[in-house]
Structure 1
């Protein structure tokens, strides 16, 4: 099995160090909590799309990873509209859309090894608190990379169910998605063990 979603391109975005990209993602995610103006959120969304273009990522490469999010963003917009009005609903959807776009951008433009090494260096001071930087960095990097991967699986499962005439049962996707996720987690654990990964080994 492979979690390699990295797409090599000669672009300014690819050239940015992994640590800077992940720090930027964290900063934007934190900043979105404090900004509620729709023009600001729309502007950040536009910048996110511009970064995808700057990274020379083709729409046909990115869209399959983002399309399944419509099945979450659509119902979320409807629910927020009924409870709080369309303005609040649009804010919530824009925030999630920006985070998904940026997480996908970081995943597609950053090698897993660079991401892991950068996180481990950043988390090294936590060793004094009894926390393993290597173990925590592996957890965080895999979590980030699983975001677009889960979107791809969701799309594949829905397409398979549509062929079988099950598209009228939206919640039926949850069980196979959970099974696939757990199975991949087991395969990933076996792959880590096979490579004799030692989270306590100093880098």
Structure 2
């Protein structure tokens, strides 16, 4: 991947600021977050501040294991009705796309000049960790989301076949090998050659 010339120039000068963004495309709603102090608009989406605690690193293993990434959010629940991550259980979130982007900017002007890197993931698992009880007897939660890369490797590890179209995308556009998988448990299917 090559960088935009303006970004490359900043990198070579060592004068760069970085803004990390995360976008969730949940069914029926897109929502974004960043680690700054005020709402930030990028590509038409308003990224909400102060909730995304850590972009975390990637965990990988040898063999057929999938490289995963874990991200953490604070202050669940929240009073903001537009904060979809605080009410993620209301969405059919498994396998929803997540885009983590790192923007490059000029530290003197705060102008965004381009993208350093962008990664696409899918939601694998959501976990809640309880916080301590405060003076009012209330407790907040920290939300941890495990991400996996999209495509064949992630589906293979979860044993999920989501559609014939996705199987053909991953393989051959004319492949019909998995056509009857969804019905074999309830409808007898004949495979191979018939005898006599």
Normalising by structure 2, report the TM-score.
Answer: 0.26
Q: RCO (CA 8 Å, sep 6+): is it higher in 1 or 2?
A: 1
